[in-house]
Structure 1
């Protein structure tokens, strides 16, 4: 199976085009957050989303936490998918599925300990995918992504094994460690922000190296599975 690639923190149509040209399967558009890198305003998110060609997915990252507000945010920005970066109430997740039946919904799970595996049954009936990240949603100033920190991949691997939904892996990935991450966690996809940037800008050399590292990991996994 080919590991999908999501390039996050896209800040302009030019960055989106660069990510697509390098083989991204999805681009992440970060709206207002309590902390972290990459937020852009909703008008720019809508403008970038309109330029992303299918089958590449434009993904709105929203920090809204109730179904009505998330649905309104999607209506304003018109992405192909929405990534909910807070651990929202499962009832809100169910309501969102009713409000946005045609919009793919990705629930972020912040891996702080093995207890996150217990969240799978609450969310899985209402979402299309999970994304594992390294935020601290309960902190005084919540961090909801873009930390550049690696979490415990053993927990991530257990989450992937238990999940009935596809799982993306995020958190501190780069060209140097993504191969090991794929080998251990076996995610459906990987997600990266700071690891392909230099001085805040999307770096084509780092982007190419990351995409090549993912391809190499997939090739190695395919060969090992065939033995």
Structure 2
């Protein structure tokens, strides 16, 4: 996949209709709506996810972040939440991507790869052909309490670049992205999109001034 010059921006951990529309006004192309997770920030109820998603105009992406590893559960969750995209934050262990495709026509599938080492490249290559995009994050599925996102940590961007160069689907980059390092992240990885959370928040709430500064830095 070729590098993207100015990446699309996904704002994660959206917690209200107001935050959703503030992010869109600032220039976000996608919104992350976090359902139940073993750890990490931004979790909201499924009824609230559905309420927010219903107010978001096309072509903005509404990403349902799910920790479920069972295709049937993911299908049922998307039907309750009515998002146009599902972000699978853990490995699928029951059912298949084909099951998801068949049950959710028109819904995009994004698989998270938690970049922990060179083995992450093999994992990315094994799933890329089954999904619409990959999202490279800095979690750890091996911990007693899994980290599936929202860590605020930067991972090894050299590995992320190798993944981006070898897969044929768009790649989003997440994990510890801030105004001070976003330029280097784009140069090193060349992602299609960037996924932001803590860097554009103050005391957990979306900070429109920080968001504006981030977009200014991105465009410069």
- TM-score normalised per structure 1: 0.92
Residue ranges of structure 1 left out of the alignment (5+ in a row)? 217-227
User: In 2, distance between residues paired with 1:197 and 1:54?
Assistant: 25
Paired residue for 1:122?
Answer: 126
User: In 2, distance between residues paired with 1:6 and 1:70?
Assistant: 21
Paired residue for 1:27?
Answer: 31
Q: Report the Cα offset of residue 176 of structure 1.
A: 1.2
Asked if 2 retains the 8 angstrom alpha-carbon contact of 1:150 and 1:173, the reply is yes
Asked if 2 retains the 8 angstrom alpha-carbon contact of 1:175 and 1:209, the reply is yes
Query: 1:130-180: per-residue Cα shift (whole Å, max 9, x none)?
Result: 000000111100010000000000011111001111000000001111111
Q: CA 1:155–1:90 in structure 2 vs 1: closer, same or farther (change >3 Å)?
A: farther
User: In 1, distance between residues paired with 2:124 and 2:204?
Assistant: 34
Q: Per the alignment, in what secondary structure is the counterpart of residue 96 of structure 2?
A: helix
Alignment length (residue pairs): 216
- The counterpart of 2:90, out of the listed 65, 81, 86, is 86
Paired residue for 1:138?
Answer: 142
Alignment of 1:198-209 (within 5 A): 198-209=202-213
Paired residue for 1:225?
Answer: none
- The counterpart of 1:177, out of the listed 159, 173, 181, is 181
Q: Per the alignment, in what secondary structure is the counterpart of residue 21 of structure 1?
A: helix
User: In 2, distance between residues paired with 1:52 and 1:8?
Assistant: 14
Q: Per the alignment, in what secondary structure is the counterpart of residue 33 of structure 2?
A: strand
Paired residue for 2:157?
Answer: 153
User: In 1, distance between residues paired with 2:77 and 2:151?
Assistant: 23
User: In 1, distance between residues paired with 2:78 and 2:95?
Assistant: 19
Decide which moves more: 116-125 or 103-112.
Answer: 116-125
Query: 1:21-59: per-residue Cα shift (whole Å, max 9, x none)?
Result: 000000000000000000000000000001111111111
Q: CA 1:90–1:122 in structure 2 vs 1: closer, same or farther (change >3 Å)?
A: farther
Paired residue for 1:74?
Answer: 78
Alignment of 1:45-64 (within 5 A): 45-64=49-68
Q: Which has the higher contact order (CA 8 A, sep 6+)?
A: 2
Paired residue for 2:22?
Answer: 18
- The counterpart of 2:104, out of the listed 100, 106, 119, is 100
Paired residue for 1:167?
Answer: 171
Does residue 211 (structure 1) correspond to residue 208 (structure 2)? The answer is: no
Q: CA 1:166–1:90 in structure 2 vs 1: closer, same or farther (change >3 Å)?
A: farther
Residue ranges of structure 2 left out of the alignment (5+ in a row)? none
